[in-house]
A and B are shown apart, each in its own frame.
Chain A
Amino acid sequence: MGLDGGSSSGGGTISQTVNPNAPRLIAFDMRYASNNSSAMGNQVDVLTGLHFWIQVNNTNGWASLTKLWVNLWYDAGNDSTSYDAASSAANYKINITYTNAGASSPTATQWALVGGNIAFVNSANVTTYTVQPNFEYAFRLSFQLHAQIHQAQKPTLSSSGYANAYSWNARFGANDLSNDINYTSKDPTAGTFYEFGVYQYTSISLASTTWTGASGAPGQTVLTNSITVTHSSNAAYWLNVTADGDLDAGNGHTIGITNVKVVHNAGQDDLSANTAFPATAPRTVRLLGTGTNTPHAFNTTGDSETVPVQFQISIPLGTFAATYTATITVLVDQRKPPTT
């Protein structure tokens, strides 16, 4: 006899929530601090207030977000230059990184300037906005480009790629605990790639306003004081000194400008010897940089450089006793863009 079999049945559900693999970029932009308008597609000035505006959503919870990156790099004339392949020198590449070790909400000090010649202090320059607690936050990162961040052309934004040689490119990246790295190079709304230019910038600082030669008799050679010229340029450049003419005492008394030499300082300027001003215009001595097509190398990391400038004056015999004056022009001649 067979036993009746029995049966039973029951029901249940299978539940699976599918989240995006990586944190999602809601917004990323670089804006002028002065009016909060976007600087993408424009030239931005160095030593001027700028903001990064960032908004990120992570539906897996903020604690699972591990990294955010703000990456800027100068393409040096080649649009295909990637961030990783670009020169890592501080005036060519900027990296601000957010690092999270499980915190469910962000703090300003989790942001850090990893590389790049900019003014950015996380404790003072980061403002956090809560959009959805534990999931979505926005950040305003205030910063300034330092003086020698490389000059770059004003780009025309493109939706098909980084499309402007000699411009700065930008991207925004995120990572989570599953190592789902996600980079975004395009504005989520406009669909255009992040590119911007940088104003050309030069500066000069002199410790004194005049070079004064010691009193001397005709036939003597006197030296002026030496002035340290601190200068900066955000592209390759020449530093020239030019005399406007002969030294003049008025009433027709002059000392020819060829009697004035720029004093060579080995290892500090690009002269090979003390060099006299030419007799005819342009009465220029090129102190830094050599040939017409050979500017002084761009300083890829710092903010400024120095060079001493001093003159040697031979007072011709028969020179009338007086004070002789000439105007000296110091020219930081930045190579015309575009430059690498």
Chain B
Amino acid sequence: MPRTASALATASTAVFLFLILIAGHPNLSSSAQAATATFGMHIVGESPTFDAGLPVLVAGVWHQVALNLSSTLSTPITLRAILPGSGSPSPANTYEWVRYQSNDSWADVRYGTFLSVDLSSDDGTHVVFEIGIDGEASPGTWTFSASSGNSTLVTQSVEVQAPRVSYGISAADFQLRVDPFTAADLSSQIGSQHLRLIDQGNVPLRLTVSFDVLRSQLSLENSGVVTHPNSESMYYLHLTAGPMPPQIVRVNGLANVSVLYVIPSSGSTLLVPTFEQPFGVSVQVGRSGYALKVVGGVVFQTLDTVRVDYGSRTIWQVYVTGSQNVSLDVSASGVRLLGVSTEGHPIGLPATLALSPSSEYPLTIQVEADQAGPSTVTFALHLLATGEVQTFTTTILVNGGPAGTSSGAVLYLWIGGSVGASLVFGFVASSQWKHRRGRVSPRDLSSQNGTKAKRGYNARRRAQLQRRNSRANGDTGEATKSRTKSGDRNGPRTSRMR
């Protein structure tokens, strides 16, 4: 008995000391205290989603499964995902991932594919598995469980959904305007023109764009924005460009939509989809309120419509830019053309304009509304190098005036008359130009300002116009062909119509 009692006392002491030892060793103590964990899950960069209270996992997309432990663990942590009652284990129904704290490693012990080590992390109590399941895995209510040794840390039912890529994209016919020869920095947001990506699926999407021209000048604002499931994102275009001459640049844009965080699959072959949508962008380099007419590398900026009170006079400016010289003629129908000048100097018509692609040639047009009803001013441009002929028309809306024929009849007569006049004018102007082209010498071209009288129709018209202008202005000066420079874009400061 004494030996027995002594033995018991020794054993009790040993157990006591063992308990003290365990209590003094943090790792041993926490393992023995049956650690627990909470379970969280979400797609990378996304908020957790739930369906009927269950966390949702989308197959084929990387997710983060976070275990928040009640205490640190020294034994490996195993995370299992199983679709109950689905037969023999396969990528369709069974997964198993392990965290080995002892050597700071991770493993997808079944397939070796569905774990991203680089994005998994462990700080002792927060263990994050970057995992996913195959895109072809069976949807349904799966059971996720985390365990360490013989202890189950947490068990969670999870709804596994098949991936669903579903989106819509709408696009404006983008129209961006910048002033000629001026640096541009503008957003399509000003004109409420946008690309809109609507994510109707359950995977996050990203929009990128590319352009066939102006690649370094056009960009997507907020390009880094991810469009989340069941949400939409608005994207705006941004144009940053240096000074450009007047022109219309037509850009083919391509919007590319890609699915984020797709997991490689385990089949023999894998085809990953992306999606594209073309859209158009028109960059108009021209003055505000002006219409741009382009022919053969020559750009004509004019107003589509000018309003004037009956009996009054008005002036407005047009601008010509180009890489070849042109012959310009101007005619009026329904109003009286008082004259055409450049920088205050009247010019005879038709006039040869020496153009440059790097500056605007300003012309001031003055008319008098001596009739009621709509009228027109027609500009005929003959491109001297290429021979192209083009007419452009500005509509003159005359306010007020004596009542006459019914307005409807006037309108129809005016339309018919205008079309006829334009055709006749174009034909006559073209014939004149061809006639002149055949006989005008370089010396003649250089004296187009009227320094040397010519015979024939053009010479007579110029002489008449000069005499008229001289009488009206007391000005005997010759028409000059100066032009605005890049730094003098606004031309002469007259009461310009806009």
Contact = CB atoms under 8 A, between A and B. Distances in A.
Q: Are these two chains actual partners, yes or no?
A: yes
Contacts of B270: 210-213, 323-326
Given A153-B173, A204-B165, A210 B135 contact: yes
Contact of A200 (B60, B170, B175, B194): B170
B60 A247 contact: no
A333 interface: yes
Interface string A179-212: 0000000000000000001011111111111111
B269 A255 contact: yes
Contacts of B277: 202, 331-332, 334
A330 B274 CA distance: 6
A214 B196 CA distance: 37
B421 interface: no
Contact of A224 (B193, B196, B201, B271): B271
Given A311-B271, A324-B269, A331-B276, A209 B165 contact: yes
B273 A206 contact: yes
B280 A209 contact: no
Residue of B193, B269, B279, B411 contacting most chain A CB atoms (<10 Å): B269
A201 B196 CA distance: 9
Interface stretch (A21-29, A40-48, A111-119): A40-48
A302 to B, nearest CB: 15
Contacts of B266: 323
A215 interface: yes
Interface string B70-108: 000000000000000000000000000000000000000
Interface residues of B, number: 45
B217 interface: no
B309 interface: no
Nearest to B171: A200
Contacts of B163: 208-209
A329 B170 contact: no
A210 B168 contact: no
Interface in A300-329: 311, 313, 315, 323-329
Contacts, number: 167
Interface residues of A, number: 54
B203 interface: yes
B268 A330 contact: no
A306 to B, nearest CB: 12
Contacts of B172: 43, 45, 154, 199
Interface string A145-160: 0010000011000001
Interface in B276-325: 276-280
B169 interface: yes
B457 to A, nearest CB: 35
B271 A330 contact: no
Contact of B268 (A46, A324, A326): A324
A202 B269 contact: no
A216 B279 CA distance: 41
Chain B interface helix/strand/loop/mixed = strand
Nearest to B395: A160
A330 B168 contact: no
A205 B280 CA distance: 23
Nearest to A156: B304
A103 B132 CA distance: 63
A149 B196 CA distance: 16
Contact of A222 (B165, B269, B274, B411): B269
A184 B267 CA distance: 64
B265 interface: yes
B198 A209 contact: no
A209 B268 contact: no
A214 B268 contact: yes
A175 interface: no
B396 interface: no
Given A222-B268, A324-B268, A209 B60 contact: yes
Contacts of B200: 203, 205
B173 A200 contact: yes
B167 interface: yes
A219 to B, nearest CB: 13
A216 B268 contact: yes
Given A154-B173, A200-B279, A327 B274 contact: yes
Contacts of A324: 268-270
17 contacts: A197-B173, A199-B172, A200-B170, A200-B173, A201-B171, A202-B169, A202-B277, A206-B273, A208-B165, A209-B61, A209-B163, A212-B265, A260-B271, A324-B269, A326-B270, A328-B272, A334-B277
Given A47-B198, A313-B269, 16 more contacts: A47-B168, A154-B175, A197-B173, A203-B200, A205-B164, A207-B164, A209-B165, A209-B259, A210-B136, A210-B273, A212-B267, A214-B267, A224-B271, A324-B270, A325-B264, A332-B276
